[in-house]
Structure 1
Amino acid sequence: MSVETVNRGYVYSGTPTSDEAERYFRQCFGADRLMYNLHVAHLYAYLEKNGHTIGEKLPTFKEMGMPTVKEFKQVRVDDDGNKYLYEVDAFASNEAKQHFKKAMNLFNKDAFKGQFKKSALKRQKTLGIEPTFRDLKGMPKFHSRKNSKLSYTTFNQSDNIFIDENNVLHLPLAQKSKLSGVAIKLNTHRPLPKDGRIQNITITMDSQGRFAVTINVAFEMEIESIGIPTAECILGLDYSQANFFVDSEGKKANYPHYYRAMEERLATEQRKLSRMVQGSKRWERQRLVAVKLHTKVANQRKDWLHKKAYTLANRYDMVVVEDLDLRALGQTLKLAKNQQDNGFGNFRLYLKYKLEQQGKYFVKAPKSFASTQICSDCGVKNTALKGDISTREWTCTNCHEQHDRDHNAGLNLRNYGLRWIDEVLLAPSLVVA
């Protein structure tokens, strides 16, 4: 058993303690959005001036002369001449810069593909409008004020973030803020870890105007190593459009498809919304009806994913999944809606940390591993299955064993886990010996 420092995020609903506090949070959301958009605008101006060859990576901050956060703040003034970005939390602006850098790095990884968005290609076909660099997949884009989810993150420095005995979270203020303090009342449905230190706080407001607080806490946890997993405690999970996943034991997850069940009612309520005058009181009431249905579906999905991940993490010592490109899968015509409904990407994240906090193993088989095409009995590869998703059962031409497509893939992932133990877990010990 070892003691390790881990970071966990705890999410609580919250209510600002005053109208001034709520106004301050909204200003921080706006500062975060504005600072991100200023970086995007500078990038676009540079690319338009100097030209951008499709397939090239984006330039660095130094190459395009990106102003610093301080320089951006200096030029933003209101009608009274006040530099209003200095009146909100500095981290709201600094984190926007980091998010922009992350967006650039993600784009540069796939920049060589030079792929345009489907909407841009359709516009080119129907209207004859040629796509530009702005239409490239993954290109950083402006954040809309109408975004349904607003947030900003602030960090704990010298214990300037704390929770008092009344479960009120006190947050830092900007030096030039006119407020004496800002706080938010938490609905602490579960306690924070003892002796944990708050690292950072993320304040979020959803489309219904409700606030949520994510508290990132660092604390020490005793993690007991399970040693080398036995073959019986290794599970392979193959992604399935219809059943969420099929495991190496032949069991199906049978995901309830919450969005599909709510789809007809959502269509009815959104149809009503489309017929109302946008911005009117009736429109706002109907908007909240549609938003609540979407929120219910999201909460149902999240609850089911956590419970399923918790069950598997308690039952098995190692879980092996395939490293699917879910973003590409979510852009296909026939599979996108179902894939985005089931939340398989979040499920992998939940399963990973639930296993690791028990000293267990979460393994991703590489994309090059053809789990579907390989016969789990003899190992012969059936290349005819490549790109064919309609064939659900097939017979091996070598050993003549009949396979269910998903179950066979689960078995291959489990076998990959067994090889991973020999090549990764046991290899270092063999070298030392």
Structure 2
Amino acid sequence: MSVETVNRGYVYSGTPTSDEAESYFHQCFGANRLMYNLHTAHLYEYLEKNGYTIGDKLPTFKEMGMPTVKEFKQTRMNEEGNKYLYEVDAFASNEAKQHFKKAISAFDKNAFKGQFKKSALKRQKTLGIEPTFRDLKGMPKFHSRKNSKLSYTTFNQHDNIFIDENKVLHLPTARKSKLSEVTIKLNTHRPLPNGSRIKHVTVMTNAQGKFEVSITVEFEMEVESIGIPAVERILGLDYSQANFFVDSEGKKANYPHYYLVMEECLAKEQRKLSRMVQGSKRWERQRLVVAKLNTKVVNQRKDWLHKKAYALANRYDMVVVEDLDLRAIGQTLKLAKNQQDNGFGNFRLYLKYKLEQQGKYFVKAPKTFASTQICSDCGVKNTALKGDISTRDWTCDHCHEWHDRDHNAGLNLRNYGIRWIDEVLLAPLLVAA
């Protein structure tokens, strides 16, 4: 038994306690968006003046002479001559800078590819408009104020963020703000851990325009390590388009396909929306209807994934999955809709942290591991299955054993987990001995 410091996030729906508090939140959302756009505009201006070669990495802040957050704030004034960015939480502006840095780092990792967006290539083909560096995939782009999903993050300093006995969250404001503090009533469907300390809070709106609050807390938790000899219950999970996954015991997850169930209703409501004048009152009411249906699908999916991951984490000591390139599958014409509906990527994340919280093991088999092609009985590789996803069962030419494709892959992943224990966990102990 060991005590570890754990960070965990909790998301609650919330309602601002006053019109002034709601207005302040929207001011913070705007400050976050504006600061990000100011950084983006400076980047574009630098690239246009100095010339940007497709395939090169973006310049650093020092190279492009990026102004500081303070300098950006000094330049923004309202009609009354007030520097309005000083009237909102400073973290709303500072976090925008950090997000912009992350966007540059993400772009630099794939800058050498020099790939343009599909929309830019289509525009070039139909209208003859040549794409520019702004059309490159991953290039930081301006954030629109029309985006319904708005957010800002603030950090706890000297316990200036707390939840009172009435489940009201108190948040700090800027010194020049007319409000000394802002509050938002939380719908705490589950309590925060005992003895936890709030580290930072993100206030955001969903597609319906309703407020949500993500609270990250830090607390100490006792983690009981099961030990290497106690790793007995090992499960291999093979991803399945039809069944979500098939495990090494031959069981299928049977994911309910919430989006496919809702698809007909969604299509009907979206057709109504498409016939209305964009921006009108009727259009806005119908947009909320569509957003409500989409939100329901998201919540159903998330609830199912959490419950399934929780059940597996409680039952098994180790779970082995494939290291699939889900983004590549999501770009496949025939597989994309189903893959994006089931949320297998989030499921792996949920399963990982739920296992590790109990001192158990989550293992990813490398992409080079051909779990589908290897015979789980004799170990001979059937190369004829490479790239063939239509064959759902096959017979080994060497041992003549019949295999269900997904069940066989689950068994191979389980066997990989057994070898992983010997090679990764036990080998260092034997060398040290």
Structures share fold, TM-score greater than 0.5: yes
- What is aligned with 1:264? 264
**1:327 aligns to what?**
327
Name the stretch that deviates more: 155-164 or 60-69.
Answer: 60-69
Q: C-alpha displacement at 1:231, in angstroms?
A: 6.8
Distance 1:241 1:99, change over 3 A: same
The two structures have a TM-score, normalised by structure 1, of 0.95
Q: Which moved more, 1:120-129 or 1:261-270?
A: 120-129
Query: What is the CA deviation profile of residues 344-392 of structure 1, one whole-angstrom value per residue up to 9, with x for unaligned ones?
Result: 1111111111111111111112222222222222333333333332222
Counterpart for residue 341 of structure 2? 341
Q: SS at 2:256's partner residue?
A: coil
Cα separation, 2, equivalents of 1:229 and 1:289: 54
Please give the secondary structure, in 1, of the residue aligned with 2:159. coil
- 1:110-162 Cα offsets, whole Å, 9 max, x none, are 22233222333333333333332222222222222222311111100111111
Q: Deviations over 1:229-264 (max 9, x none)?
A: 667511111111111111111211111111111111
- 1:360 and 2:360 aligned: yes
Cα distance change on mapping 1:230 and 1:195 into 2, 3 Å: closer
Q: Which residue of 1 aligns with 2:86?
A: 86
- CA displacement 1:150-183 (0-9 Å, x = unmatched): 1111100111111112111110111111112211
Query: 1:9 aligns to what?
Result: 9
Deviation for aligned residue 1:318: 0.7
Write the distance in 1 (CA, Å) between the matches of 2:221 and 2:81. 51
Deviations for 1:64-121, whole angstroms, at most 9, x for unmatched residues? 2222111111111112221111111111111111111112222222222332223333
Q: Read off the aligned partner of 1:383 and give its amino acid letter.
A: T
Q: How many residues align?
A: 433
Q: Which residue of the partner structure matches residue 316 of structure 1?
A: 316
How far, CA to CA, are the matches of 2:403 and 2:119 in structure 1?
39
What's the offset of the Cα at 1:316?
A: 0.6
**Counterpart residue number, 1:302:** 302
C-alpha separation between the residues in 1 aligned to 2:275 and 2:311?
Answer: 45
Secondary structure of 1:246's partner? strand
SS in 1 for 2:198: strand
Cα distance in 2 between the residues matched to 1:80 and 1:234:
67
> Counterpart in 1 of 2:423?
423
Q: State the SS of the aligned residue for 1:63.
A: helix
Which residue matches 2:413? 413
Contact 1:244 1:344 in 2 (8 A): yes
Q: C-alpha separation between the residues in 2 aligned to 1:176 and 1:224?
A: 49
Cα deviation code 1:257-285 (max 9, x no counterpart): 11111111101111111111222222222
Distance 1:380 1:137, change over 3 A: farther
Residue 138 (structure 1) aligned with residue 138 (structure 2): yes
Give 2:360's aligned amino acid.
K
RMSD over aligned CA atoms reads: 1.7
| Shift in CA distance, 400/206, structure 1 to aligned 2, threshold 3 Å | same
Residue 121 of structure 2 corresponds to 121
* Unpaired segments ≥5 residues, structure 2: none
Q: Which residue of 2 aligns with 1:228?
A: 228
What secondary structure is seen at the aligned counterpart in 1 of 2:94? helix
Contact 1:231 1:418 in 2 (8 A): no
1: CA distance, partners of 2:253 / 2:32: 40
Distance change >3 Å, CA 247–CA 230, structure 1 → 2: farther
Q: Does 1:189 align with 2:189?
A: yes
State how far apart, in whole Å, the 2-side matches of 1:110 and 1:414 are: 34
Q: Is the 8 A contact 1:229 1:318 kept in 2?
A: no
Q: Confirm or deny that 1:288 pairs with 2:326.
A: no
Residues 1:276 and 1:366: Cα distance change in structure 2 (over 3 Å): same
Change (3 A) 1:270 1:234: same
List aligned pairs for 1:168-187, cutoff 5 A: 168-187=168-187
**Contact residue 107 and residue 138 of structure 1 kept, 8 A:** yes
Corresponding residue SS for 1:245: strand
| Normalised TM-score (structure 2) | 0.95
Match of 1:65 in 2: 65
Letter in 2 for 1:139: M
Whether the aligned pair in 2 keeps the contact of 1:392 and 1:406 (CA below 8 Å) is yes
- 336-345 or 114-123, which deviates more: 114-123
CA–CA distance in 2 between the matches of 1:23 and 1:229? 58
CA 1:390–1:170 in structure 2 vs 1: closer, same or farther (change >3 Å)?
same
8 A Cα contact 2:232 2:317, kept in partner: no
Task: Note the C-alpha offset of 1:415.
Answer: 1.6
**288-297 or 359-368, which moves further after superposition?**
359-368
1:312 and 1:229 map into 2 onto residues whose CA distance is 20
Q: Which amino acid aligns with 1:53?
A: T
Residues 66 and 373 of structure 1: CA distance in aligned 2, closer, same or farther (over 3 Å): farther
Partner letter of residue 116 of structure 1? F
Moved more, 263-272 or 396-405: 396-405
Shift of 1:342: 0.8
My pick for the range that moved more, 277-286 or 171-180, is: 277-286
Say if 1:199 and 1:218, in contact at 8 Å, map to a contact too: yes
How far apart, in 1, do the equivalents of 2:229 and 2:263 lie? Answer: 42
Paired residue secondary structure (2:63):
coil
What amino acid maps onto 1:228 in structure 2? I
Check 1:292–1:396 CA distance in 2 against 1; reply closer, same or farther (3 A cut).
same
Q: Given the superposition, is the C-alpha separation of residues 394 and 47 from structure 1 closer, same or farther in structure 2, using an over 3 Å criterion?
A: farther
Shift of 1:400: 3.2
Q: Secondary structure at the match of 2:337?
A: helix
Query: Could you tell me which amino acid in structure 2 is paired with residue 328 of structure 1?
Result: A
CA gap of 1:4–1:339, structure 2 versus 1, over 3 A, is same
